[in-house]
Chains A and B, each alone.
Chain A
Amino acid sequence: MLTLKQSRRLQSVVVGTLSWAVALLIFFPIFWMILTSFKTEMDAIATPPQLFFAPTLENYLHINERSDYFSFAWNSVLISFSATVLSMLIAVPAAYSMAFHESRHTKRTLLWMLSTKMLPPVGVLMPIYLLCKSMGLLDSRIALIVIYTLINLPIVVWMVYTYFKDIPVDILEAARLDGATTFQEIGRVLLPIARGGLASTMLLSLILCWNEAFWSLNLTSSAAAPLTALVASYSSPEGLFWAKLSAVSTLACAPILIFGWISQKQLVRGLSFGAVK
């Protein structure tokens, strides 16, 4: 028989091993992508797959020559951040009213908003394409910013709503009695308390915008094209070049990965700081 202490230790070893296994499984494709990006095209398609090889930077040099990485990256940054800021500007007042001034229709509105996410985007491709075309917004950042804002809005409102719901309404009422206007109540009390949740919502929105490919591929060609379009341009016409594709994918993921990594610490601190009681 194991003592309580021994069985605890055994349990933590088993759980630890399992979580590492799952984490590695999930991380493996990314690891392989990064590895492949440093291989020659020959090494990349070798069977059996090679774990050890002579690393090379030729893929990255090739991409640098063929396309203007920074223009694509700049578009990605601009579009993702603008869409995120815009959706927060809409979501915060919406979530505030739904969380703290609930009406008979609030629950239904929330569900209805989410239900719009069930429609496959391709279903509205035609009308939106034509709209953009007739407004002269094809290959423009504005079109993508507006579309990203709107497609992420339901999720953003939901997240902000759930974070707001965790905040006792007493605190806002206290502010109201202390003489705060609605703007002061939101700006000086609600937002600072919810900042951890708001930050993680913004991060999620950024990631979703960054990785969005359907609309960016269909509505942009060059001037407004973000990184997802750059990746796609390496996949089709001249057949598959695994190593170059891996390199460009790595370049496309890198900024948001690094950004997520940096903000992670901030996020964790923000989240625990938000604890009210």
Chain B
Amino acid sequence: MADLSIRNLQKGFDGHAIIQGIDLDVRDREFVVFVGPSGCGKSTLLRLIAGLEEVTSGTISLDGKDITDLAPAKRDLAMVFQTYALYPHMTVRKNLSFALDLARVDKATVKAKVDNAARILELERLLERKPKQLSGGQRQRVAIGRAIVRNPKIFLFDEPLSNLDAALRVQTRLELARLHKELKATMIYVTHDQVEAMTLADKVVVLNGGRVEQVGSPLDLYNHPANLFVAGFLGTPKMGFLRGTVGAVDGSSCEVQLEAGAKLTLPRQACGQKAGASVTLGVRPEHFNIVPAGEGQLQVVADVSERLGSDTYCHVRTANGEQLTIRVRGDFGPAYGQPLELAFDTAHCHLFDAAGVAIDKRSAAEQAA
């Protein structure tokens, strides 16, 4: 069992509030990912859970037991650091067995556990080497192995892949996902890479400025961002934002007059805004189409295009200077400065009120379900 619950957690350094009241639950066997921009307090939150930083106020409890002021050694958590933090003077075997040796586990058990972890992570042939003689990827695996042998209640990872090259990162990401399933482990994982967040997580926690912006499954966050910050943070390329005002509203649709010139009718049951209220329309790059002149709703001018082969990301500018990114087939590449016409996939447009909070497009009944 490993149920972690955090209540109104706060942390300040020298009077600066860094973590500003966080409530969070991590269920047994869940893979939870903390994402957020640099400096938002992800590592600090993880270190508070680990016990490496002292809590300013609030509580952390594990399986109903208050661990807020418990020493890190007593929490039964294992952490994998971004820098790996291997013990440079010990062989890989010693690195793996250090925690068990400290706990005075008998030799035969230690050997069995170390050999098992080495087998899972394919480290068998490296056991007698020192960390210095390993590649970055191998060191990473030793760091993970060091956590595995302890069979902790929760695995904590602080950007474990950020020092690996791109190919290795993809491979290790898959291995971590596999490990999570095989070990039936509870994991908390910090990253600023949203691909890692989307692919690994059961539950994503989006942090910003020391607060939780939104918690949910990856697709839930992607499809129903709670506010402008989450909408803009998740998804590459970023969601495009267009300012506008609400026009006519009825029970099944909602008109939006964009400052960029177009007038859209969104098929949504709830709009929540009166006519004339200013709103922001959010559209993901895949929810635009480039259409022949006269068939679309918005005129734009092509900026540079990024051609990836499979897709092309066209950056475009509207008449009033707003920037959008559009994702189209890889064989399409407009010239710089070329006028284009866009059609919106209106069913997938997001709407945010003046304060940046999302206006749910589902009806009240649907939301409850």
Contacts and interface: CB of A to CB of B under 8 A. Distances in A.
A and B bind: yes
A15 to B, nearest CB: 31
Interface in A165-187: 168, 170-171, 173-181, 184
A175 B132 contact: no
A192 interface: yes
B73 A192 contact: no
B98 A170 contact: no
Contact of B72 (A171, A176, A188, A189): A176
Nearest to A194: B89
B150 A178 contact: yes
A175 B85 CA distance: 9
B146 A178 contact: yes
A177 B81 CA distance: 11
Contacts of A180: 73, 102
Contacts, number: 61
A192 B79 contact: no
B99 interface: yes
Contacts of A184: 102
Given A174-B79, A177-B50, A168 B146 contact: no
Contacts of B89: 192-193, 273
B88 A193 contact: yes
B279 interface: no
A178 B81 CA distance: 13
B212 interface: no
A192 B103 CA distance: 20
A20 B87 CA distance: 40
Interface string A130-169: 0000000000000000000000000000000000000010
B78 interface: yes
Given A174-B79, A176-B52, A181 B73 contact: yes
Given A173-B52, A174-B79, A275-B132, A179 B102 contact: yes
Contacts of A179: 73, 99, 102-103
A181 B77 CA distance: 16
A171 B81 CA distance: 9
Contact of A178 (B52, B102, B132): B102
Interface residues on A, range: 20 to 34
Contacts of B88: 171, 193, 275-276
Interface in B66-105: 71-73, 77-79, 81-83, 85-89, 98-99, 102-103
Contacts of B82: 170
A152 B132 CA distance: 34
A171 B83 CA distance: 9
Contacts of B103: 179
A178 B98 contact: yes
Contacts of B52: 173, 176-177
A177 B102 contact: no
Nearest to A178: B99
A177 B72 contact: yes
Interface string B4-46: 0000000000000000000000000000000000000000000
A175 B95 CA distance: 10
Nearest to A176: B72
A171 B98 contact: no
Contacts of A173: 50, 52, 72, 79, 81, 85
A276 B83 CA distance: 11
A245 B258 CA distance: 98
Contacts of B83: 168, 170
Contact of A174 (B71, B81, B132): B81
Interface string B101-114: 01100000000000
B98 A177 contact: no
Given A177-B50, A177-B72, A179-B103, A171 B150 contact: no
A168 B71 CA distance: 20
B71 to A, nearest CB: 8
A84 B81 CA distance: 36
B102 A170 contact: no
Contacts of A276: 88
Nearest to A167: B88
Contact of B79 (A177, A189, A193): A177
A66 B87 CA distance: 55
Q: Which of A179, A181, A192 has the most CB of B within 10 A?
A: A179
Contact of B85 (A170, A181, A273, A275): A170
A109 B73 CA distance: 30
A189 B98 CA distance: 10
Contacts of A189: 87
Contacts of A181: 73
Contacts of A168: 83, 85
Contact of A177 (B78, B86, B87): B78
A176 B72 CA distance: 6
B86 to A, nearest CB: 8
Q: Which of B81, B83, B87, B99 has the most CB of A within 10 A?
A: B87
Interface in A43-77: none
26 contacts: A168-B83, A173-B72, A173-B81, A173-B85, A174-B79, A174-B86, A174-B87, A176-B52, A176-B72, A177-B51, A177-B72, A177-B78, A177-B79, A178-B73, A178-B102, A178-B146, A179-B73, A179-B99, A179-B103, A180-B102, A184-B102, A192-B89, A193-B87, A193-B88, A273-B89, A276-B88
Given A273-B89, A275-B132, 7 more contacts: A171-B88, A174-B146, A175-B87, A177-B73, A177-B78, A178-B73, A179-B99
Q: Which 4 A-B pairs have the closest CB atoms?
A: A170-B85, A178-B99, A174-B85, A179-B73
